[in-house]
């Protein structure tokens, strides 16, 4: 079988986002289910719960204790300076989220590609919540796969740089590709192109920082960096396919259409077939009316369906910048840019 989606009805009532957009986050998951529940060629798999020991693969004991205590608070509050919310019963939802990744690894023995619509919390650090992310589920999944001796490539596509994942694996022999919006200030403010990795990870970190407002044509150029995945020849490709870069997203960062997310899925499908790699992918961020549709288009691309349902957006000057950046990084460490 080719594609499975990790699904639980409880996903529709989980959000760690700021209270102003929590309802939008939940509605995205509900709409995703309505769009995909009858899609042919997909098997839905119910996730298991993770354990505290699973969380300890990435997070400190003190921080996990903090999460448990916050979950007992009868009121909604923040785990950080004002982004990531806690609420009654939150800890059990965290175990479900992390359990989804662990279930995906288990079922990768039977499916070539797996998608987790509610997952991809790439900002969380070992002792800190950040950017709507209480735990780093991708980091935990990656640690498990590393212990199994797998060769891993992480493709992190989101409006925001995956600082948590970069921190966790910067010196590890893991290919890490980030495609995101960046102007030096846009959250989380990390991801300079000169950050190329250290130790075993030297030369394996690629930050494709697109200017704010970049359009489809810039994104298509950015995807040329995926050639590095083919060169690396991983056994697992982990993909965060965040859709908050859509032009109608409430966080307003990029000017992408659904076509970009479809092409991302399609490129990952082609590469994974070429390499006989397993794919575990995540829904990531998305806070607008088009978010669920973008997620569906990524999944269709992952199934090998290339389609365009919107008119491409363009920005020639920004595309020139992205094209040059990808070329320089593809050739090695850029001494100047």
Contact call for residues 315 and 255 (beta carbons, < 8 A): yes
- What is d(CA 16, CA 47) in angstroms, rounded to the nearest whole number? 19
Contact call for residues 35 and 292 (beta carbons, < 8 A): yes
Contact call for residues 91 and 66 (beta carbons, < 8 A): no
86 is catalytic: no
- What is d(CA 297, CA 320) in angstroms, rounded to the nearest whole number? 26
Contact call for residues 222 and 177 (beta carbons, < 8 A): no
Q: How far is CA 279 from CA 46, 224, 236, in A?
A: 18, 19, 6
Contact call for residues 255 and 214 (beta carbons, < 8 A): yes
Q: What is the largest CA-CA distance in the chain?
A: 54
Sequence length of the chain is 337
Q: How far is CA 302 from CA 72, 243, 264, 275, in A?
A: 39, 15, 8, 15
Residue in 86, 123, 160, 246 annotated catalytic: 123
Closest to 284 measured CA to CA, from 167, 186, 157: 157
As annotated, the active-site residues are 123
């Amino acid at each position: 079988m080719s594609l499975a989606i990790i699904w639980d009805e409880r996903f529709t009532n989980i959000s760690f986002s700021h209270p102003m957009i929590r309802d939008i986050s939940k509605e995205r998951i509900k709409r995703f289910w309505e769009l995909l529940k009858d899609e042919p060629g997909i098997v839905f798999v119910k996730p298991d719960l993770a354990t505290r020991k699973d969380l300890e693969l990435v997070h400190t004991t003190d921080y996990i204790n903090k999460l448990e205590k916050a979950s007992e608070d009868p009121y909604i509050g923040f785990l950080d300076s004002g982004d990531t919310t806690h609420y009654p019963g939150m800890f059990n939802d965290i175990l479900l989220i992390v359990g989804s990744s662990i279930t995906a690894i288990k079922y990768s023995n039977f499916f070539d590609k797996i998608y987790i619509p509610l997952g991809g919390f790439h900002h969380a650090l070992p002792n800190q919540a950040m950017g709507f992310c209480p735990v780093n589920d991708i980091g935990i999944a990656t640690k498990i796969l590393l212990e199994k001796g797998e060769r891993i490539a992480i493709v992190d596509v989101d409006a925001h740089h995956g600082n948590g994942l970069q921190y966790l694996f910067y010196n590890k022999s893991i290919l890490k590709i980030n495609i995101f919006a960046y102007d030096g200030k846009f959250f989380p403010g990390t991801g300079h192109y000169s950050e190329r990795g250290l130790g075993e990870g030297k030369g394996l970190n690629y930050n494709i920082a697109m200017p704010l407002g970049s359009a489809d044509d810039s994104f298509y150029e950015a995807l040329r960096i995926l050639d590095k995945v083919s060169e690396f020849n991983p056994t697992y490709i982990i993909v965060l396919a965040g859709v908050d870069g859509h032009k109608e997203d409430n966080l307003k960062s990029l000017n992408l259409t659904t076509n970009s997310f479809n092409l991302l899925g399609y490129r990952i499908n082609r590469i994974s077939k070429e390499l006989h790699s397993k794919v575990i992918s995540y829904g990531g961020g998305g806070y607008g009316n088009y978010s669920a549709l973008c997620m569906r288009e990524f999944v269709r691309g992952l199934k090998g369906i290339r389609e365009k349902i919107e008119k491409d957006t363009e920005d020639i000057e920004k595309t020139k910048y992205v094209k040059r950046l990808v070329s320089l990084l593809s050739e090695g460490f850029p001494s100047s840019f």
